[in-house]
Homo-oligomer: A and B are copies of this chain.
Amino acid sequence: MDALIEKILQKDNPTVAGLDPRPAHLPPELRELPPDEAYLKFNLGLIDALADVVPAIKPQAACYEALGAAGVAVLEKTIAAARGAGLYVISDAKRGDIGSTAEAYAEAWLGDGPLGSDAVTVNPYLGSDGILPFLASGRDIFALVKTSNPSSAELQDLDCGGEPLYMRAARLLERLGAESVGEFGYSRIGAVVGATHPEELTKLRALFPNTFFLVPGYGAQGGGAADVAGAFDGRGLGAVINSSRGIIAAWKKTGGDWKDAARAEALSMRAALRAVRK
């Protein structure tokens, strides 16, 4: 997790911008293009507008897969452009499989191929067989612990011997990560915990000092800076906060140039997060 933390420190900003292009988010000037061309122009414009403000971007794989191989080619170009601009790339793919299949996913998302990213999100339901193959890459993962959606309670909150399932998942990650703790005290296995659960964030932060958090759900999903304050450690590290629609579709609220609107929203989010980290 060291590469991400260094970029957060450089920019004094724990924001990750979610590049989740959907037809409804495209500004009018791009809507006449074929969808794959529009998504690429949109992403390149956003990367240009945000590269000196945010340390990281998080493309959501589903948005690209919806266009098939043509969309995946846009994702390849997006990842390359972002890494070329010095950004840390978290591919939000929530992959989860076992053995040689997990190795193939690791090869895809954390290898030297065209989708190679700095980190990928994974689903922990299959246990360590679905997590450890990703670590061999030497790069980072973020595994789901407590997700931001309303129905996350259906399985994640089930009582498993006195504590909820998500807590057991978090314990598994902390244990599996123990051998990869880096210079800032965080392992290469991070946890996804939604901004919609501020109390759980605070509790998990205290219990799992070696697990870095990826926190979605800021902005459009309802979480604010106060909700994520508990995710940070005493140094203002420990978490990166994601906003997707809030940034990339900011032009819908503000009008004006879509790149300027995204940048303004990212600057505003940076200020809000700086205020709660100290």
Interface residues of A, Cβ cutoff 8 Å to B = 20, 22, 60, 62-63, 65-70, 72-73, 75-76, 94-102, 104-105, 107-109, 111, 113-115, 123-130, 144, 147-156, 158-161, 165, 168-169, 172
Contacts and interface: CB of A to CB of B under 8 A. Distances in A.
25 contacts: A63-B101, A63-B104, A65-B104, A65-B105, A66-B107, A69-B72, A94-B123, A98-B151, A123-B123, A125-B144, A125-B147, A125-B156, A126-B149, A126-B155, A127-B151, A127-B156, A128-B151, A129-B150, A129-B152, A130-B149, A130-B151, A154-B172, A155-B172, A159-B160, A159-B161
A58 B193 CA distance: 32
Contact of A124 (B65, B73, B97, B125): B125
Given A96-B123, A161-B159, A22 B168 contact: no
Contacts of A95: 62, 94
B155 A127 contact: yes
A92 B193 CA distance: 26
A70 B68 CA distance: 11
A69 B155 CA distance: 34
A59 to B, nearest CB: 12
A65 B111 CA distance: 11
Contacts of A100: 22
Contacts of A22: 100, 104
A100 B149 CA distance: 11
Nearest to A105: B62
Contact of A108 (B65, B75, B144): B65
Contacts of A70: 69
B76 A69 contact: yes
B127 A152 contact: yes
A60 B81 CA distance: 28
Contacts of A75: 69
Contacts of A154: 127-128, 172
Contacts of A62: 95, 97, 101-102, 104-105, 108
Contact of A68 (B76, B158, B161, B165): B76
Contacts of A156: 125-127
Given A101-B60, A104-B62, A125-B124, A68 B155 contact: no
A153 B144 CA distance: 17
